[in-house]
């Protein structure tokens, strides 16, 4: 067998190193690509302010800049509230186009919660969507045991979700949690809590110059307190604009 000359051995060694570098480079590129592919996956839940449905969504976005480079895909949509609660929110007269509000969004183990997560956590059983949440059995049982109170509570809460005033829902439902006795004053307490919640929501939106949201809340507020000067002032101001 002829002996390789030094130049030939050197060229063969270079080719071997080049091939090894190429293979290692490809493996690194594949691993980095797979990691980036995983990091770019974004998913979450949206809450329908009108119907209280929940739906999933997903898309891909750059994990470093947040730039979204794929379309949003919507997954399953379904009810997860008790039928008795569903019946009561469907009986309200507020006809609004569907508006999906953010409940939560997750990208690579980092989860951020949107305003609608307050309603979702309080009223909905999210276990079917792979989300750990408190059981909704309390509200289901409460609705069955207090049908007249439920007739007042759930339409009122829906008024808040339609306005996007999720932050004030816990204060209003406290009326049902704290005042368990049947003294005939539940409706009055609920109205007082709604007036306070709507006043705060109006103030918050006025402060950020969101005149439409403030006006919509003030109009609802006048249904609970027709003589409320704050609500009247906001509605009157909107008519002048």
Sorted by where each begins, the domain ranges of the chain are: 1-39
Q: Looking up tokens 């290692």, which residue turns up? A: 24
Q: What is the three-class DSSP state of 59?
A: strand
Give the pLDDT of residue 184: 81
Q: Mean pLDDT in the chain?
A: 84
Q: For residue 76, what is the DSSP state? A: E
CA distances in angstroms from 58 to 36, 72, 106, 174, listed in the order given: 16, 6, 9, 34
Give the pLDDT of residue 135: 53
Give the pLDDT of residue 11: 61
Structure tokens, 75: 């997954």
| 7-21, 88-102, 198-212, range with the lowest pLDDT | 7-21
To the nearest 10 degrees (0 to 180), the angle between helices 229-240 and 186-207 is 40
To the nearest 10 degrees (0 to 180), the angle between helices 169-178 and 147-163 is 170
Q: Which helix (H) or strand (E) holds 170?
A: helix 169-178
User: Nearest Cα to 62, choosing from 45, 41, 44, 43?
Assistant: 41
Instruction: List, for residues 125-157, the tens digit of each pLDDT value.
Output: 555 555 554 556 778 888 999 999 999 999 999
């Amino acid at each position: 067998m002829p002996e390789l000359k030094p130049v030939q051995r050197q060229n063969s060694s270079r080719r071997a190193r080049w091939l090894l570098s190429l293979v290692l480079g490809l493996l690194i590129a594949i691993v980095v690509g797979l990691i980036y592919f995983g990091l770019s996956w974004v998913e979450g839940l949206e809450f329908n302010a009108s119907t209280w449905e929940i739906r999933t969504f997903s898309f891909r976005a750059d994990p470093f800049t947040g730039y979204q480079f794929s379309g949003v895909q919507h997954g399953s949509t379904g009810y997860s509230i008790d039928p008795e609660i569903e019946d009561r929110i469907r009986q309200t007269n507020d006809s609004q186009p569907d508006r999906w509000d953010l409940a939560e969004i997750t990208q690579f183990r980092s989860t951020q919660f949107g305003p609608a997560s307050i309603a979702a956590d309080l009223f909905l059983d999210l276990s079917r969507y792979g989300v750990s949440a408190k059981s909704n059995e309390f509200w289901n049982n409460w609705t069955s045991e207090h049908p007249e109170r439920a007739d007042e509570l759930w339409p009122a809460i829906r008024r808040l979700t339609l306005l996007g005033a999720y932050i004030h829902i816990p204060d209003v439902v406290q009326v049902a949690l704290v005042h368990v006795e049947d003294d005939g004053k539940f409706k009055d307490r609920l109205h007082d809590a709604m007036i306070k919640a709507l006043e705060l929501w109006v103030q918050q939106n006025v402060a950020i110059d969101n005149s439409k949201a403030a006006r919509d809340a003030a109009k609802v507020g006048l249904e609970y307190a027709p003589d409320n000067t704050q609500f009247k002032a906001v509605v009157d101001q909107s008519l002048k604009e």
